[in-house]
Amino acid sequence: MQTDAADRIILGGRYRLESKVGTGGMSVVYRATDLQEERTVAVKMLREEYAEDEEFLQHFRNEINAAKDLHHPNIVEIYDFSQEDDLPYIVMEYVSGITLKAYINVIQSMGWRDALNICAQILSAIDCAHSHGIVHRDIKPQNILITDEGRVKLTDFGIARAVTEGTRKAGGDSAGSVHYLSPEQARGGFTDERSDIYSIGITLYEMVTGVVPFDGESHVSIALKHIDGNIVPPHTVDPDIPYGVSDLVMMATKKDPAERFQTARDMYARLKMVSANPGYSFLTPENNLDDGAADIQNLEATEFSAPLIIRREDINEYENGDGNSSNSAPGRRAADYTDRELEINRAEIVRNVTMTTFAYVLAIILGIVGIIFMVNRFRNLNSNMGKFTSVSYKVADYHAMKAQDVINELTAKGINVAQEPALSEDYPLGYVVGQSVAAGETITLKDVLTLKVSSLSNSFILEDMVDKDYRQALADLTSAGLSVNFHTVSSASHKKDMVVRTSPAAGSIVTPGDTVTIYYSTGQMAEKVRVPNLIGMTAQEAEMQLTLAGLTLRRAYPEPGSDITDLVATPTPTPEPTADPLLIPTPTEEPTLEPTEEPTQELPPDSSAEAINTVTPEITQTPSITTAPTVPPTATPSPTPVLASMTVVAQYPQAGTEIYVGESVEIYFFTVRMLQTDKELTLDYPSDVTSAEEVDVRIESIPLVGSGSFSDIIYSGSLKRTEFPFKYHLNIPVSGMPVKVTIYINRSIYKQILVTYDYVEKR
């Protein structure tokens, strides 16, 4: 019953098709009348290729049934779902207006306030969907409608997910979708609510700039840019776009889902703050001219209720392809002026030029004096304000906590932290056993909180080596009983041969025998290059490619083609040979055979019982055996060795990563996931963030090396308080390469840790 023109067909005896209003890669949309309810509706009829896929239809029905429960002013309502002549169709709310894509094409790029208005309504709709467990997965301007009254309506819930799980064929609107895909969708990995956040960020980018951030000649090239490409910040494309609006886009389009806004509600809250103070940059505070002028957390929220103003004449001009003549203003031509009007009074011109020049010079002098006056006033004001204002923090009880975790937390808040070694028989090394400020007291940013950390008796504080000649630093550290490594870095702020930093940093607790790495300057301006793709190259080819890029090869592990059987965590066992003991005599007892019997043939060590029965000649007389027959000892066959690849199969850092010239890259000649071992980790009850009896827990892991690494979901579900401490298992490479574990509590990041084969965990 698929038709290109509606000819008064009535579907299901109820919906009379009036006219076709749109076509897409999956469906044809008709304007129709609901004869039973006496209202205008939209009927979306799926194309035949989707109607023939039963698996797709089942997923599609499930999604439509869930979407029917969505009732929100910014979501197109779904009224019914049925079939006519085996062709499924959806009946939904009819919206009179245009798509957001067409609206962007009308005005090229809209004002940022209108863009935030539209984005706020999209987020409100998506928040409703997510609260019902529905992820859209296909947010794009083509699926966002703007009514004649200016209200935003989000449509096509459920279709995107059903298509990904059905048998999708490339359609006419698939090209539009790839411009808004999240990196995890482009890789075919796990998607959740944060994938919708990414698509909304791309849509907001297009609204404020008029273009999409990534484009290309094919779907594949665009998808790869979503995975590895860098988005140019909107304020760089158009300097009139405020920093806050640009930051909103950049935060929503982070490659790592854990770094984006975690919910639509989070992004909506930040959007309202940005609207109240658009010039404040919350991602790069250094761009703010007045650090104290905008406390972004305390700004009054701005509500978005005013509809957009869409001029129908603009839309008509866009649809008719005419819109230039109306903008031309009447004016006079040069020939319209008389000779008298063109007479030149030279004396008057000289007088005007002189007065103008004098005015400019006077303005410049007054401007310089004003700037000097304002700078002095600002310095005095800043000095005086420091006496009356300060930021204070309430100190918690850090006893029995890992010192490094406490330091990371406090330094992130701007608090100065110092360490002091202390002997302790009650705590292991590296734990806080005392603090200079008691729990509950307050400190300011000028104060220093000293932590007493459990250490060995001969431990001491590492002194600051920055801007000291690296040779002198070597002598000082060696005399203190420390081992020293060196690493050169390019630096424009440190002279040649001067120490840039140390690892561990100055102020850390060290013990004689520990290793300290000195990073000293080569005196060159720091320059970054992208790591080349070394996958598939030999070791020699990879080293040459790195040299051409200005990089060095740190190590190649293991040796190409070497035997790595011992490195494999769970090698495949080789089956031992089997034999029938009744057919093989024991080595100590010789059976008595008939003289005509031929001797038993010698069998290879890997022969099976079936092979033995085949080669043994028939015995005419049962041999006389005085003892129980046993299987003769045979040599255990060696397992097939596992050999490393002859070409690179993984690298760290990954291809495309920006690092400084002179830094090194590691290459690996084995499959990372094959060389893994199991590690048991424990998650304690997160009492520092919740007191609920049941919490939602999600644990993800991702290796930080290799090409095409995807996140693994270790656990996802609810845990009762009594189920803590919760033990979970993690697969980690035996090579010592780190695996990042992200733990979410109630959908917010609780903590992230790096886990390596030597069982060292670092925040």
* For the ranges 101-105, 139-143, 622-626, the one whose mean pLDDT is highest: 139-143
* For the ranges 336-350, 497-511, 615-629, 632-646, the one whose mean pLDDT is highest: 497-511
pLDDT in tens, 691-737: 889 999 999 988 765 434 456 888 999 999 999 999 998 887 766 66
Burial of 34 (C-beta count, 10 Å sphere; 0-12/13-18/19+): middle
User: When comparing pLDDT for 530 and 582, which is higher?
Assistant: 530
| Rounded Cα distance, 90 and 11, in Å | 11
* pTM metric for this prediction: 0.42
Q: Kindly give the pairing relationship between strand 726-733 and strand 739-745.
A: unpaired
pLDDT at position 301 over 50 = no
- For residue 436, name the pLDDT band (cuts at 50, 70, 90): very high
Q: How many residues does the chain have?
A: 763
| Rounded Cα distance, 718 and 723, in Å | 10
User: What is the model's pLDDT at position 247?
Assistant: 94
| Rounded Cα distance, 287 and 374, in Å | 20
- For residue 156, name the pLDDT band (cuts at 50, 70, 90): confident
* Cα–Cα nearest to 509, from 399, 423, 436: 423
pLDDT in tens, 239-263: 889 999 999 999 999 999 999 999 9
Give the chain's largest Cα–Cα span: 145
Domain 672-762: top CATH class: mainly beta
Amino acid at 669: F
Dihedral-angle region of residue 217 (phi above 0 means left; psi in -120 to 50 means alpha; beta otherwise): alpha
pLDDT at position 172 over 60 = no
pLDDT at position 686 over 70 = yes
- For residue 97, name the pLDDT band (cuts at 50, 70, 90): confident
User: What is the model's pLDDT at position 705?
Assistant: 56
pLDDT in tens, 355-379: 767 777 888 888 888 888 887 776 6
pLDDT at position 457 over 60 = yes
Q: Which of 399-403, 622-626, 695-699, 755-759 comes out lowest in average pLDDT?
A: 622-626
* Cα–Cα nearest to 721, from 686, 689, 748: 686
C-alpha dihedral (616, 620, 621, 627), degrees to nearest 10: 10
Residues of the chain with pLDDT > 90, as a percent, come to 21
Mean pLDDT, rounded, of the chain: 75
User: What is the model's pLDDT at position 305?
Assistant: 41
Structure-block tokens of residue 369: 């004096």
Burial of 509 (C-beta count, 10 Å sphere; 0-12/13-18/19+): buried
CATH code for the part of the protein at 461-526: 3.30.10.20
Domain 392-455: top CATH class: alpha beta
CA-to-CA separations, 186 to 139, 181, 190, 705, 714, in angstroms, rounded: 14, 6, 10, 19, 22
pLDDT at position 92 over 60 = yes
372-383 b/e (C-beta count within 10 Å ≥ 16 → b): eeeeeeeeeeee
* For the ranges 322-326, 402-406, 740-744, the one whose mean pLDDT is highest: 740-744
Across 41-63, average pLDDT = 75
Report CA torsion sign: 374, 379, 382, 385: negative
Which phi and psi (to 5°) does residue 486 adopt?
-125, 150
* Cα–Cα nearest to 584, from 635, 633, 621, 620: 633
pLDDT at position 345 over 60 = no
| Rounded Cα distance, 268 and 121, in Å | 9
User: What is the model's pLDDT at position 164?
Assistant: 43
- For residue 158, name the pLDDT band (cuts at 50, 70, 90): low
Across 432-441, average pLDDT = 90
Across 445-463, average pLDDT = 88
- For residue 590, name the pLDDT band (cuts at 50, 70, 90): very low
Contact predicate 626/486, CB 8 Å: no
| Rounded Cα distance, 600 and 584, in Å | 9
697: β partners? 717, 745
User: What is the model's pLDDT at position 712?
Assistant: 80
Locate the domains of the chain by residue range: 10-93, 97-298, 351-382, 392-455, 461-526, 529-570+643-668, 672-762
Across 558-576, average pLDDT = 62
| Rounded Cα distance, 137 and 191, in Å | 8
Fold of 97-298: Transferase(Phosphotransferase); domain 1 (1.10.510)
Structural element, H or E, at residue 276? helix 264-276
User: What is the model's pLDDT at position 447?
Assistant: 85
User: What is the model's pLDDT at position 671?
Assistant: 66
| Rounded Cα distance, 555 and 441, in Å | 50
Contact predicate 186/198, CB 8 Å: no
User: What is the model's pLDDT at position 49?
Assistant: 72
C-alpha of 697 from chain center: 19
Q: Which of 2-6, 31-35, 494-498 comes out lowest in average pLDDT?
A: 2-6
User: What is the model's pLDDT at position 127?
Assistant: 92
* Cα–Cα nearest to 729, from 714, 718, 744, 743: 714
* For the ranges 407-416, 576-585, 629-638, the one whose mean pLDDT is highest: 407-416
Burial of 508 (C-beta count, 10 Å sphere; 0-12/13-18/19+): middle
pLDDT in tens, 388-401: 445 677 888 888 88
Structure-block tokens of residue 126: 């998506």
pLDDT at position 82 over 80 = yes
**What strands lie across the sheet with 552-557, from one edge to the other?**
552-557, 664-668, 650-652
User: What is the model's pLDDT at position 720?
Assistant: 92
Q: Is 563 annotated as catalytic?
A: no
Which phi and psi (to 5°) does residue 234 adopt?
-55, -35
Contact predicate 32/49, CB 8 Å: no
Summary count for the chain: helices (H), strands (E): 18, 31
Could you give the angle at which helices 112-131 and 243-252 cross, rounded to 10 degrees? 30
Q: How much is the CA Rg of the chain, to the nearest whole Å?
A: 36
- Selecting among 138, 247, 266, 405, the annotated active-site residue is 138
Classified as helix, coil or strand, 760 is coil
- For residue 318, name the pLDDT band (cuts at 50, 70, 90): very low
* Cα–Cα nearest to 198, from 126, 276, 281, 288: 126
User: When comparing pLDDT for 100 and 569, which is higher?
Assistant: 100
Same fold, 97-298 and 529-570+643-668: no
Which phi and psi (to 5°) does residue 385 adopt?
-65, -30
CATH code for the part of the protein at 10-93: 3.30.200.20
User: What is the model's pLDDT at position 116?
Assistant: 93
Domain 529-570+643-668: top CATH class: alpha beta
pLDDT at position 125 over 50 = yes
Residues of the chain with pLDDT > 70, as a percent, come to 70
C-alpha of 269 from chain center: 21
CA-to-CA separations, 288 to 65, 245, 291, 293, in angstroms, rounded: 48, 14, 6, 9
pLDDT at position 132 over 90 = no
User: What is the model's pLDDT at position 408?
Assistant: 79
User: What is the model's pLDDT at position 481?
Assistant: 92
pLDDT at position 568 over 80 = no
- For residue 139, name the pLDDT band (cuts at 50, 70, 90): very high
Q: How far apart are the first and last CA of the chain?
A: 61
- For residue 650, name the pLDDT band (cuts at 50, 70, 90): confident
| Rounded Cα distance, 549 and 145, in Å | 48
pLDDT at position 182 over 70 = yes
pLDDT in tens, 629-645: 555 555 555 567 778 88
